[in-house]
Structure 1
Amino acid sequence: MSSVANSAASFGHPDAILDALDPEQREVATALHGPVVVLAGAGTGKTRAITHRIAYGVRSGVYKPTTVLAVTFTARAAGEMRTRLRDLGVVGVQARTFHAAALRQLGYFWPRVIGGAPSRIVEHKAALVAEAARLVGVSVDRVAVRDLASEIEWAKVSLVAAEDYARRALAEGRPAPAGFDHQQVARLATAYEEVKGERGVMDFEDVLQILAGILAENRTVAEEVRAQYRHFVVDEYQDVSPLQQFLLDQWLGDRSDLCVVGDPSQTIYSFTGASPRYLLDFRKRFPRAHEVRLVRDYRSTPQVVRLANELLRRGRVTGALELRAQRPAGPPVAFTAYDDDDAEAAGVAAKAARLVAEGMRASEIAVLYRTNAQSQAFEAALADAGVGYQVRGGERFFQRKEVRDAIVLLRGAARSADPDQPMPEQVRDVLTSAGWSPAPPAARGAARERWDAMAALVGLADDLARTGPATIASLVAELEERAAAQHAPTVDGVTLASLHAAKGLEWDAVFLAGMNEGLMPISLAETDDAVAEERRLLYVGVTRARVRLEVSYARSRAPGGRASRKRTRFLDDLWPEAGGVRRSAARSRPRELLTGEHDAALFEALREWRRQVAAENDQPAYTVLTDQVLAAVAEVRPTSTMQLARIQGIGPVKIDRYGAAVLAVVARSDDASGDASKKF
Structure 2
Amino acid sequence: MENENILENLNLEQKKAVQTTDGPVLILAGPGSGKTKVLTHRLSYLIKQGIPGQNILAVTFTNKAADEMKKRTIKLLTPLDAARLTGFIGTFHSFCLKILRKEIDKLDYKKNFVIYDEDDQLNLMKEVIKNLEINQEQFPAKRALHVISSLKNETIDYETYRENAQEYFEKTIAKIYQAYQLNLKQNNALDFDDLIMLTVKLFENFPEILEFYQEKYKYIMVDEYQDTDPSQYKLIKLLSSKYRNVCVVGDDAQSIYSFRNADFRNILNFEKDYPQAKVITLDQNYRSTQNILDAASKLISKNVYQKPKNLWTKNPSGPPISIIGTWDEKNEAEFIVQKIKEFLKQGYKLHDFAVFYRTNAQSRAIEEAFIKNNVPYKLIGAIRFYQRKEIKDIVSYLKYIAVNDSMSLKRIINTPTRGIGKITLDKIIKNGIERVAEEKPEVGIFHKFIQKAKEIAIKNPLTKLLKFILKEIDYQNYLRKTYGDNELQAGLSEDEARWQNIEELINVGAEYDKLPAQDGLKEFLEKTALLSDADEIQNNKEVVHLMTLHTAKGLEFPIIFIIGCEEGILPHSRSLLNPLDIEEERRLFYVGITRSKTHLHLVVSQRRTSWGSKEANMPSRFLSEIPEHLINYEEYNGEIKDLIDF
The alignment's TM-score, normalised by the length of structure 1, stands at 0.68
Deviation string 1:544-593 (CA, Å, 9 cap, x unpaired) is 1111111112111249976621111222253xxxxxxxxx420x14xxxx
Aligned residue among 96, 101, 126 for 1:102: 96
Judging changes above 3 Å, is the alpha-carbon distance between structure 1 residues 206 and 517 closer, same or farther for their aligned structure 2 residues?
same
Partner of 1:532: 583
In structure 2, runs of 5+ residues without a counterpart are 393-460, 462-487, 505-509, 516-523, 641-646
- Alignment of 1:545 onto 2:534: no
TM superposition shift of 1:527: 1.7
AA at the equivalent of 1:94: F
- In structure 2, C-alpha distance between the alignment counterparts of 1:133 and 1:473, rounded to whole Å: 39
AA at the equivalent of 1:309: S
Aligned residue among 251, 268, 291 for 1:303: 291
For structure 1, which segment, 29-38 or 345-354, has the greater mean C-alpha deviation from structure 2 after superposition? 345-354
TM superposition shift of 1:252: 2.4
Partner of 2:212: 224
AA at the equivalent of 2:136: V
State the SS of the aligned residue for 1:315: coil
Partner of 1:126: 122
8 Å Cα contact 2:26-2:249 kept in structure 1: yes
- In structure 2, C-alpha distance between the alignment counterparts of 1:654 and 1:168, rounded to whole Å: 61
- In structure 1, C-alpha distance between the alignment counterparts of 2:115 and 2:619, rounded to whole Å: 44
AA at the equivalent of 2:91: T
AA at the equivalent of 1:200: N
Matching of residues 571-610 of structure 1 within 5 Å: 571-572=623-624, 574=626, 584-586=627-629, 588-589=630-631
Partner of 1:5: none
- In structure 2, C-alpha distance between the alignment counterparts of 1:443 and 1:83, rounded to whole Å: 37
For structure 1, which segment, 348-357 or 526-535, has the greater mean C-alpha deviation from structure 2 after superposition? 348-357
Identity %, equivalent residues: 30
AA at the equivalent of 1:147: R
Aligned residue among 195, 220, 224 for 1:207: 195
Aligned residue among 375, 382, 397 for 2:363: 375
- In structure 2, C-alpha distance between the alignment counterparts of 1:394 and 1:236, rounded to whole Å: 24
For structure 1, which segment, 533-542 or 323-332, has the greater mean C-alpha deviation from structure 2 after superposition? 323-332
Partner of 2:10: 21
Aligned residue among 375, 380, 384 for 1:392: 380
Matching of residues 165-244 of structure 1 within 5 Å: 181-244=169-232
TM superposition shift of 1:654: 4.3
TM superposition shift of 1:238: 0.9
- Alignment of 1:32 onto 2:83: no
AA at the equivalent of 2:28: L
Matching of residues 206-355 of structure 1 within 5 Å: 206-355=194-343
- In structure 2, C-alpha distance between the alignment counterparts of 1:349 and 1:209, rounded to whole Å: 47
Partner of 1:60: 49
State the SS of the aligned residue for 2:545: strand
TM superposition shift of 1:531: 1.6
Aligned length, in residue pairs: 514
State the SS of the aligned residue for 1:314: coil
8 Å Cα contact 2:100-2:111 kept in structure 1: no
Deviation string 1:281-314 (CA, Å, 9 cap, x unpaired) is 1111221111101111111111111111111122
- Alignment of 1:47 onto 2:36: yes
The RMSD of aligned alpha carbons is: 3.9
AA at the equivalent of 2:606: R
> Which one has the largest radius of gyration?
1
AA at the equivalent of 1:156: K
- In structure 1, C-alpha distance between the alignment counterparts of 2:345 and 2:162, rounded to whole Å: 56
- In structure 2, C-alpha distance between the alignment counterparts of 1:23 and 1:54, rounded to whole Å: 18
Deviation string 1:414-441 (CA, Å, 9 cap, x unpaired) is xxxxxxxxxxxxxxxxxxxxxxxxxxxx
- In structure 2, C-alpha distance between the alignment counterparts of 1:351 and 1:167, rounded to whole Å: 60
8 Å Cα contact 2:197-2:231 kept in structure 1: yes
In structure 1, runs of 5+ residues without a counterpart are 1-11, 171-175, 405-411, 413-441, 458-471, 575-583, 590-646, 657-680
- In structure 2, C-alpha distance between the alignment counterparts of 1:349 and 1:167, rounded to whole Å: 58
- In structure 2, C-alpha distance between the alignment counterparts of 1:318 and 1:169, rounded to whole Å: 35
Aligned residue among 62, 67, 72 for 1:84: 72
Judging changes above 3 Å, is the alpha-carbon distance between structure 1 residues 143 and 531 closer, same or farther for their aligned structure 2 residues?
farther
- In structure 1, C-alpha distance between the alignment counterparts of 2:4 and 2:65, rounded to whole Å: 26
Deviation string 1:249-293 (CA, Å, 9 cap, x unpaired) is 332242201000111111111222211222111111221111101
Matching of residues 477-488 of structure 1 within 5 Å: 487-488=535-536
The alignment's TM-score, normalised by the length of structure 2, stands at 0.71
- Alignment of 1:156 onto 2:152: yes
Partner of 2:445: none
8 Å Cα contact 1:73-1:236 kept in structure 2: yes
- In structure 1, C-alpha distance between the alignment counterparts of 2:169 and 2:339, rounded to whole Å: 47
8 Å Cα contact 2:214-2:242 kept in structure 1: no
Aligned residue among 510, 530, 553 for 1:503: 553
Partner of 2:644: none
Aligned residue among 591, 604, 607 for 1:556: 607
AA at the equivalent of 2:129: A
TM superposition shift of 1:154: 1.3
Aligned residue among 562, 565, 570 for 1:512: 562
AA at the equivalent of 2:25: V
TM superposition shift of 1:40: 1.2
- Alignment of 1:522 onto 2:518: no
